[in-house]
Structure 1
Amino acid sequence: MKLISNILYVIIFTLIIVLTLVVISTRSSGGEPAVFGYTLKSVLSGSMEPEFNTGSLILVKEITDVKELQKGDVITFMQDANTAVTHRIVDITKQGDHLLFKTKGDNNAAADSAPVSDENVRAQYTGFQLPYAGYMLHFASQPIGTAVLLIVPGVMLLVYAFVTISSAIREIERKTKALETDTKDSTMST
């Protein structure tokens, strides 16, 4: 029983730490955790299926040199000031000093209507994904999600502490009662 209790404690404590780090990272980065040039992105549409599905969490790496990108690479670019899109490069053209990328979602019938300027390219897909984990990240970026992901594990830890303390008190009472019974039995026999 003690082993199970210790394992449960470690799991809950680890969960609290991980969720706290995810929430802090999500909040500080404006919605998507980023570490060492890598960013986790939530997939919000099915345009890239079957490469990755809606609700997946994908890992993208910040682009340092757009000239290294090739036809077939999957990139994340800013479609407008607030919208990041992750699609595959289907063609690359040069216009003056800039590269223009024609992109297309794998699941879309046609290529995107406007070419993407190299200035709008932010990252390249690394090939790593976690199916359905994007839903949790998206939830964590919402105020209610932040509260739930911090409060629920905290409450679980408090419940665990209450159960542990109650169990310890019962054990002490049991030992005290046993000691009293032993003392009473030994005084009666003398």
Structure 2
Amino acid sequence: MKKALKIVFNVIAWVVLIFALLITILVFSSDKNNGTASLLGYVPLTVESDSMKPTFKKGDLIISKEIDDINSLKKGDVITFWTLIEGKKEKNTHRIAEVLNDNGSVGFITRGDANNADDTYTVYAGDIIGQWNGAKIGGFGKVMDFLRTKTGFFICILLPIALFFLFELYKLIATIIEVKRPAITESDEEEIKRRAVEEYLAQQKEKEEENAQQEKNDK
């Protein structure tokens, strides 16, 4: 039972470490790429509005895939792109409503699924971050946003990593102590057992003598 619990604890520790390292990579990748994290061409994004309901909603985490061929995009695809919202450069994820092709220059008119009208701007190849691959995790975008804060990074990433390495250090020290401890041979075990039996018999004899003396005194 003890061995099984040890194995389970080790597995959990490694899972936590891998998760923490993965989030660390995403966070640092995001910081170095204008706030857009990318891992092997996949871009995790937090949905910032309800303009794409019911496909996904604010607070969801979605995954977009970087695009190799802009000409592969078609009407109905959902793309993530840079745009200006109230004068500020922001990421947006909307569905392609129309594909424009002006002498080889490809552009896209987009619209949110919850909107009644197309967006007022045209999205060009240089604006596109990736194409949504259909993956989403409801509400997990808020978790990712928290992990990007200093508090979230410390509690959910730095602290688990520190605890993991402290645990591994403890196991290493325990192993070293165990190796340095003199090995008990079979003859040593027999001697320990013999002494234990002798001590037990001596204690029993002493109790019997005390009882006999007590009975004698009572008479």
Shorter-chain TM-score: which interval? 0.7 to 0.9
Partner of 1:77: 81
Distance 1:9 1:49, change over 3 A: same
- What are the Cα deviations for residues 83-111 of structure 1, in whole angstroms up to 9, with x where unaligned? 11110000112234312211011112221
Comparing 115-124 and 98-107, the one that deviates more:
115-124
The count of corresponding residues between Structure 1 and Structure 2 is 174
Match of 1:124 among 110, 126, 131: 131
Structure ranking higher on relative contact order (CA contacts 8 Å, 6+ apart): 1
Identity of aligned residues (%): 29
Q: Residue 51 of structure 2 contacts residue 114 of structure 2 at CA under 8 Å; is this kept in 1?
A: yes
- Tell me, which stretches of 5 or more residues in structure 2 are unaligned? 172-192, 206-219
In the alignment, the residues of structure 2 paired with residue 36 and residue 20 of structure 1 have an alpha-carbon distance, to the nearest angstrom, of 15
Compute the TM-score of the two structures, normalised by the length of structure 1: 0.76
Q: Residue 23 of structure 2 contacts residue 157 of structure 2 at CA under 8 Å; is this kept in 1?
A: no
Comparing 9-18 and 83-92, the one that deviates more:
9-18
Cα offset for 1:13? Answer: 3.3
CA RMSD of the aligned region, Å?
A: 2.9
Larger Rg: 2
Q: In structure 2, give the amino acid aligned to 1:34.
A: S
Distance 1:88 1:188, change over 3 A: same
Partner of 1:100: 107
Cα offset for 1:55? Answer: 1.7
Q: Residue 52 of structure 2 contacts residue 113 of structure 2 at CA under 8 Å; is this kept in 1?
A: yes
- Tell me, which stretches of 5 or more residues in structure 1 are unaligned? 165-178
Partner of 1:57: 61
Compute the TM-score of the two structures, normalised by the length of structure 2: 0.67
Q: Residue 62 of structure 1 contacts residue 122 of structure 1 at CA under 8 Å; is this kept in 2?
A: yes
Partner of 1:185: 200
Cα offset for 1:12? Answer: 3.2
